[in-house]
A and B are shown apart, each in its own frame.
Chain A
Amino acid sequence: MTYPPDYRPGSDEPRLNRPVPERYPQIRSTSGYADPRVVHSGPGPGAGAEQEPERSAVLSARLVVVLCVVAGQLWALNVGVDAWMQGRTGTAWWCTGFEGLSFLIALGAWWLGPRDR
């Protein structure tokens, strides 16, 4: 490659011809995923990724189970109150049994995963 005779690499301003680390002291050799100015973590070793995806999914699943159980309990309480008000005490107690079983399921879902309680 040939250059014009008056070509000189670099800038006419000497301050712009300093080495990069001197010009940008904030940028270190590890810049890329450890640089706090990087807003979006790029592809790096574990950058921005879930470290234990299975554990996170299980936690979400447990939460969904408990929410479904509580929805069922609200329905059972509604049925139980109606039954008791209509004099059907036996049905009300069956609803209470259902509530107890549901609570045991919720308790079990909470009890699983001792690191995520």
Chain B
Amino acid sequence: MTGPNDTTDPDGTDPAAAARAAERDAALRDRLSADSLTSRRDYLRVMTTVSGGLLVGSIAVSAGVLHRHGDAEAAEVPELRVADRLARGEAVLFNYPGEHDRAMAVKLADDSVVGYSTVCTHLACGVLWKEHRGEEGELYCPCHEGSFDIRTGAVTGGPPPRGLPKVLMAERADGSVWAVGTAYSDETARHAACRQLGAIRPGTTVPSCPHSGGK
């Protein structure tokens, strides 16, 4: 039953609430249609702050905040037996040198064994071994169709900015496959071996290394 002072409409809506809602809608419409309130002075201040933020980020990167495959001290990482035997065209997944460093070893048609990190250098998706792509097969990232050369780990297509970090592999006489070291993106195995030797035995001079223990 509705009395003379009842403000509720017969359909159950409160006129005051409806008026408030309409006012809110009008205010929102005004705000959205208004010109941007960010002045050039505000923009200048914001961009200067962004510049400072980029400086801080760069310092963090150079100081080593980002995880880098193969960053574990060479002396602390023992060799890892990843497979008793590997057939041609076959791949095996393992973690090396750290337990969170996902890696893959592949035996190629000429019986050489190569190993790479399986974390794509673009956005860290998992990289897959595609035996039937390309001439010798290739490493393929399905997220954005990045691809890497199976011999060198270099980028052959797609958006990845760097080649895959390598895992240095060795195959012993009994056919077992071992991970024996790591190399950074686009770093040669020789340079990586010299670097790790320098970490294990500082001051050692090796004639074949460009500068022993160097970066």
Contact = CB atoms under 8 A, between A and B. Distances in A.
Interface of A: 59-60, 62-63, 66-67, 69-70, 73-74, 76-78, 80-82, 84-90, 92-93, 95-96, 99-100, 102-103, 106-107, 109-110, 116-117
A70 B53 CA distance: 10
Interface in B118-155: 121
B48 A66 contact: yes
Contacts of B186: 86
Interface in B22-57: 40-41, 43-45, 47-48, 50-52, 54-55, 57
B185 interface: yes
Contacts of B43: 63
A74 to B, nearest CB: 7
A90 B214 CA distance: 11
B195 A63 contact: no
A106 B48 contact: yes
B3 to A, nearest CB: 47
A17 to B, nearest CB: 44
Given A59-B41, A60-B40, A107-B48, A77 B62 contact: no
The 8 closest A-B pairs by CB, nearest first: A87-B184, A106-B51, A99-B58, A73-B54, A110-B48, A92-B62, A96-B58, A103-B55
Given A70-B50, A70-B54, A84 B61 contact: yes
Nearest to A85: B185
9 contacts: A59-B40, A76-B58, A77-B58, A84-B61, A87-B185, A100-B55, A103-B52, A106-B52, A110-B44
Nearest to A105: B51
A15 B176 CA distance: 113
Interface of B: 40-41, 43-45, 47-48, 50-52, 54-55, 57-59, 61-62, 64, 66, 68, 121, 161-162, 184-187, 195, 215
A19 B76 CA distance: 102
B215 A77 contact: no
Main secondary structure of the interface of A (DSSP, over half): helix
Contacts of A110: 44-45, 48
B162 A80 contact: no
Contacts of A90: 215
A82 B66 CA distance: 11
B44 A96 contact: no
A70 B162 contact: no
Contacts of A96: 55, 58-59, 61-62
Contacts of B64: 84
A103 B54 CA distance: 8
A66 B43 CA distance: 10
A87 B62 contact: no
